[in-house]
Amino acid sequence: MPISERDAKRYKKYLKQLTADVAKCIDALDATMEKPHSLDRDKRIAKINNALEMANDLAWHFGLGESLNKKRYKGQERHKD
């Protein structure tokens, strides 16, 4: 099923932002993982995880036009095993 040019532009915009955000988080995570284990390191990893979740939520909601409740429900189903 073909998508409209408007939707394609919207997808591209949010996909570009998502990939940029993911790349930043990966770089930050790599640098953090090189540090010795500590509470501060764990907090930094949690902060990076939250940034990834936010980037994913933005792409999911605004790029794909999907409900965040639907996404979270699917994620919970996937992790039940």
List pLDDT tens digits, range 55-75: 888 888 877 777 767 655 555
Q: Is 17 helix (H, G, I), strand (E, B) or coil?
A: helix
CA–CA dist 35, 54 (Å, integer):
25
- Which pTM does this prediction carry? 0.67
- Distance, in Å, from the CA atom of 18 to the CA atom of 60, rounded to the nearest integer, reads 10
Rounded-to-integer distance, Cα 41 and Cα 54, Å: 20
Q: Are 58 and 17 in contact (CB under 8 A)?
A: yes
Does 4 score more than 60 pLDDT?
yes
pLDDT in tens, 23-53: 999 999 999 999 999 999 999 999 999 999 8
Q: Which residue has the tokens 């996404």?
A: 71
> How far apart are alpha carbons 62 and 32 in whole angstroms?
30
Q: Which tokens hold the place of 80?
A: 């039940």
Annotated domain spans of the chain = 5-78
